[in-house]
Structure 1
Amino acid sequence: MTSTEDLAWVPESCTLPTAGRPLRLAAFDDLFATSLRGQQKLSATLLRWDLDPAAEATARELTSRESRCCSFFTFTFHPDGEALWLDVEVPAEHRDVLDALGERAVAGIRA
């Protein structure tokens, strides 16, 4: 179960109702645990996730929902047959949010 501490990094600009936040976080955690192969930090405001291509539909649906409540995220997919890269970019003022999401992703790879 997601604790309040897990959600401390969620910005005030997020429009997802508070009750839905643990579920969204759990959806990202599931994506990380089942489909994330690796992560690169390309810059302070840009992460690249290497995902299992079989997870593309799930990842697109999840990032679409996330973009609706946290419009500062830019998610860009780069499918390539045997690989699927997902770039996650934020404006500089939301680096802390990107860092927190990246930490969760790395923890999910190791889980």
Structure 2
Amino acid sequence: MKVPESSVIPIACTLGTGAYQERLVWIAELNRAALQSVRREGARLVLTYDPRAGARIREMVRREQECCAFLALELNEREKSLTLAITAPEAAHDALDALFNPFLTGSKSSGGCGCTTVTAQ
């Protein structure tokens, strides 16, 4: 069965190339300063940060919601840690590494740039 074109869901960052590269640098700097651990659970990436970076993490969440609305971002702030869970949609299953790599820049798990587009079928 063919899916009507109008129901194809684009999964892509809306930032232009220059803004995307700036965002990667900004996230890498944030990760070098405050990222404590990274855990991958299938289509979910869990990043734990030093809670003193709370304002910067909240700003990252705000920015990412603007350009990557297809990602579910859940911020959980505690006294001793701040956890950001990023969940990709089911349609992005084959591109999870590419989708999550930008959030790993500057971390020990960093793999580089991963800008991609995926469509649901």
Measured against the shorter chain, the TM-score band is 0.7 to 0.9
Equivalent position SS for 1:87: strand
Structure 2 unaligned residues grouped into runs of 5+: 1-9, 111-121
Instruction: Calculate the TM-score normalised by the size of structure 2.
Output: 0.69
Equivalent position SS for 1:86: strand
**Large movers: runs of 4+ above 6 Å:** none
> Percent sequence identity over matched residues?
27
Offset of residue 102 of structure 1: 5.4
Question: Aligned ranges for residues 17-96 of structure 1 at < 5 Å?
Answer: 17-42=16-41, 44-92=42-90, 93=92, 94-96=95-97
Quick check: which one's helix share is greater?
Answer: 1
C-alpha distance in structure 2 between counterparts of 1:80 and 1:22, whole Å: 31
Q: Look up the match of 2:99.
A: 98
Please tell me the root mean square deviation across aligned C-alpha atoms, in Å. 2.1
C-alpha distance in structure 2 between counterparts of 1:100 and 1:62, whole Å: 15
How many residues in Structure 1 have an aligned counterpart in Structure 2? Answer: 97
Structure 1 unaligned residues grouped into runs of 5+: 1-10
Distance 1:19 1:101, change over 3 A: closer
